[in-house]
Chain A
Amino acid sequence: MAFEKRAETKLVEVPSPNKIPERDIGYAPILEVAHLGIDFGGLTAVDDFNIAIGRTEIAGLIGPNGAGKTTVFNLLTKVYEPTRGTIMLDGKSTHGMNTVQVNRAGIARTFQNIRLFDKLTVEDNVRIGLSNHMNYNTFEGVFRLPAYWKEEKKAHERALELLSIFDMQDLANVPAGSLPYGAQRRLEIVRALATEPKLLLLDEPAAGMNPSETADLMENIRKIRDEFQIAVMLIEHDMSLVMNLCEGIAVLNFGKIIAKGTPSEIQNNPEVIEAYLGKQKEG
């Protein structure tokens, strides 16, 4: 598989002390997490998780199976309530917010086990993402007042525009559940984007994709970042994707961060090699 090798982004320290890309240093980090942790009963699933993500950074979260990566996403989106620690989104604490409020505050996500609205069409899935940005109420909707027509037309156009990122506009009227696996993963990204996030969390976006699909996905994630000027954080097992796409990487093992840094720093970190990459190479 031939990836275009890009120059590595330089990471610089912010006061927290965590590192973000040099180009984002003029702005506050979009996400700053300090000492985040959760216990399930007596079991500590995630502990002392610290990270900062720059405004337009593509960050990676890697680690062996069961390391707690998805749990971190669930904590950030408040699917689970953190036992301890703080999450600052764009300078504001998300303390006391629920999943819905966190999304409105600017975090959107996809799911490891795809969670689309299977019976609804592709376009309706995207329109559900757009829902909170449509400006008419239930009454106007039920009686089809002018606001309904105007906003639905706008949403239709916007949905097709977003679908065209992945060249999916022709599938708009297909039930989401009947799409092939890869297309379902892409649709989840589009749906998340439709909620107009500042930070996009992707949980194994390349899982089940073939190499050429993965390469396209990588280009598209970069394109999304460039076009929407948002930050992306992804969990992925495909190391070539992570090492080529991500600017800052955090490695999680047994619920704790064991290393953070640029792809080359991670690749050369002995602890990481032992915990994770070492096994990969042997395999």
Chain B
Amino acid sequence: MIFLSHLINGLSLGSIYAIIALGYTMVYGIAKMLNFAHGDVIMVGGYISYIVAHNLGWGAIGGILMSILVCTVLGVLIEGLAYKPLRGASSLAVLITAIGVSYFLQNAALLIWSPDPIVYPSLVDLPWMSFSIGDLKVSSVTTVTVLCCVLVMALLTLFINKTKMGKAMRAVSEDKGAAQLMGINVNGTISVTFAIGSGLAAIAGVLMCSAYPVLTPTTGSMPGIKAFTAAVFGGIGSIPGAMVGGILVGLLETLAKAYISTELSDAVVFAVLIIILLVKPAGLLGKQVTEKV
């Protein structure tokens, strides 16, 4: 029974990681960069939803929608101001810039919202969504998180495969130059990718803060790095891979916390990341690329 409860917690945490990992994997697949600041967008999403829902009193729906809107705009702004000027630069330069953006968001949040943690009242409080299996109670946040993850995955897969923009994204991820020659607006496509990824980050932020109700300016960074681990796990660039990777990392972390040690759970997750990268650098569902000579 306890094991089952760990499994369910792991599934819920994993679903959050999966939604964050989607943002990493789409951006990595299309812009070929590791958007280090992605985790901090989650934190911004958390704060915005709290302020709008709680301080302005617009309710849960208003808070969620506003945070999605703000994060989407933020994602596009970050891409346009910081990453676009570095198109074609070395990955080292782009990564350092992304770290700069991450630090900027954290420290701006620190100045605006102070380092004191906020106790986040759950925005996902739907009693009819909670149920019990024997002694085991499953809260509505858990149910909603898992359902949300499945829904997002399904919609995104449809979007990528069925829409014109989705087709453009796949083309840009295959070959930027060729896509440009075929009349695809590469910069526009990359912006849309950032917009979608950041919107998803807002959703992940609301779900995460609802499930783990402490919000600080650094709330996003660790989950961000772990979600990147999840994306690598599943194979970077692959959408189903992000889902599989996210859930595996969530389960791994929860079980490590329960059966090994709370302090070492992060170490276990990272150790597995290292092993995966060594044994199967392309991840579970990714493909290998080689340099042309």
Contact = CB atoms under 8 A, between A and B. Distances in A.
Please determine if A and B sit in direct contact within the complex, based on CB atoms under 8 angstroms apart: yes
B293 interface: yes
A70 B292 CA distance: 11
A79 B293 CA distance: 8
A181 B293 CA distance: 19
A117 interface: no
Nearest to A40: B290
Interface in A29-80: 70, 74, 79
Interface residues of A, number: 4
A111 interface: yes
Nearest to B290: A80
A70 B293 CA distance: 9
A74 B290 CA distance: 13
Interface string A223-250: 0000000000000000000000000000
Contacts of A74: 293
> What does DSSP make chain B's interface, helix, strand, loop or mixed?
loop
- In this complex, the interface size class of chain B, counting residues with CB under 8 Å from chain A, is under 10
Contacts of A79: 293
Contacts of A70: 293
Contacts of B293: 70, 74, 79, 111
A74 B293 CA distance: 8
B114 to A, nearest CB: 46
B18 to A, nearest CB: 30
A138 B293 CA distance: 30
Contacts of A111: 293
A134 B293 CA distance: 28
Interface in A154-184: none
Nearest to B292: A113
Interface string A64-107: 00000010001000010000000000000000000000000000
B89 to A, nearest CB: 16
A58 B272 CA distance: 53
A188 B149 CA distance: 54
B291 to A, nearest CB: 9
Interface string A111-138: 1000000000000000000000000000
B288 to A, nearest CB: 11
Nearest to A73: B293
Nearest to A74: B293
Interface string B254-293: 0000000000000000000000000000000000000001
A111 B293 CA distance: 8
Nearest to A80: B293
A98 to B, nearest CB: 14
Nearest to B291: A79
Interface in B155-204: none
Nearest to A112: B293
A74 B291 CA distance: 12
A52 to B, nearest CB: 25
In the A-B complex, list the 4 residue pairs whose CB atoms are closest, starting with the nearest: A79-B293, A74-B293, A111-B293, A70-B293
4 contacts: A70-B293, A74-B293, A79-B293, A111-B293
Interface of A: 70, 74, 79, 111
